[in-house]
Amino acid sequence: MGCCCCDEDDGDILRHLIISDRPSSSSSSPTPTLPSSSSTVMNSHFAALSSTDILRLIFLHLPIPDLARASCVCRLWNSVASDREIITNAFLAPWKLKHVLRDPLSRSFWRDNNIRKFAISHRIASADTLASLAVKYSVQVMDIKRLNNMMSDHGIYSRERLLIPISNPDILVNRTCFIELDVHAKREVAVLYPNDVPDRRNWYLSSTRVSSEESKKRLVDSLKRSMQVDNETAQYYLSVSNGDPRAALTEFSQDLRWERQVGRS
């Protein structure tokens, strides 16, 4: 949870708080000056706002939007508001969830915790259709397709599982959710499993596939720079060479020489 305005140090923040607590003066009064030592003692309760322990006690009761605002006050508040325990507590509290496990890849995951952040993991059976799943879970077919990044109904047959949006928030009460990056949905989701036991094989396959896609992307970028071509051309030569970058470069060089020879003739 990023800090948006931490230019002032903590002492400056407390100074402003102390001054703002004084009664406003009339227009004829002189410009307010820094409080005297006695005034500082009278307003010394503001010193609590520089105590990490007291800030933690306060922030543990704040919802996600208020934590985001608190993180923008100063560096100290930002460090406390960004604490994993405090963020997790704020994420769980509205839905009465019991636990959230695994860390998200992106810090932006914590920015909100609306109902669309959660989903049920459904392992696809041979008889499943989008219509039957929509009826089973009391959701709309379009919502399932949107969550899973599906363009057509046929996309269900190329997947091992679908993410099902949650229509009834009572499903979340006293449950454990697992933060996962779903490869097909292309997003991080707080996933619920039957009996709160994750499908470890599905998690392994997802993680492996993500790593494989990232490696392929890096390889394509490298070929693109070496060949000085666009992304699609680099992908084409990598595919015709069965993923061998050296063979892809050789194939590209041969085609380039042939084009030059044809151009001369």
pLDDT of residue 249: 85
Kindly give the pairing relationship between strand 161-165 and strand 187-192: unpaired
Contact 70, 77 (CB under 8 A): yes
Percent of the chain scoring above 70 in pLDDT: 74
pLDDT of residue 39: 43
Residue 99 DSSP SS3? strand
Mean pLDDT over each residue of the chain, to the nearest integer: 79
Tell me how far apart the alpha carbons of residues 248 and 255 are, in angstroms, rounded to a whole number: 11
| 238 or 170: which leads in pLDDT | 170
Contact 59, 86 (CB under 8 A): yes
- DSSP code of 153? G
- Is the entire prediction scored with pTM above 0.75? no
* pLDDT level of residue 245 (50, 70, 90 thresholds): confident
pLDDT of residue 50: 81
pLDDT of residue 2: 53
Which own/partner contact pairs does 213-221 have at CB distance under 8 Å and 24+ positions apart?
A: 213/183, 216/243, 219/243, 219/245
For helices 200-227 and 245-264, angle between their N-to-C axes, nearest 10 degrees: 30
Length of the chain: 265
pLDDT of residue 16: 47
Tell me how far apart the alpha carbons of residues 84 and 167 are, in angstroms, rounded to a whole number: 28
* The residue type at 161: R
pLDDT of residue 4: 56
| 162 or 25: which leads in pLDDT | 162
* pLDDT level of residue 166 (50, 70, 90 thresholds): very high
* pLDDT level of residue 93 (50, 70, 90 thresholds): very high
Tell me how far apart the alpha carbons of residues 56 and 74 are, in angstroms, rounded to a whole number: 15
SS3 of the chain: helix, strand, coil, percent, to 5: 55, 10, 30
Which own/partner contact pairs does 7-16 have at CB distance under 8 Å and 24+ positions apart?
A: 8/74, 9/74, 9/75, 10/50, 10/74, 10/75, 10/76, 12/74, 13/49, 13/73, 13/74, 14/46, 14/47, 14/49, 14/50
- DSSP code of 229? -
> pLDDT tens digit string along 172-231?
999 999 999 888 888 899 999 999 888 765 554 455 445 556 667 777 888 888 888 888
Per-residue CA distances from 29 to 15, 148, 238 (Å): 21, 65, 78
Of the candidates 212, 174, 179, 170, the residue with the CA atom closest to the CA atom of residue 198: 179
* The residue type at 80: V
pLDDT of residue 153: 80
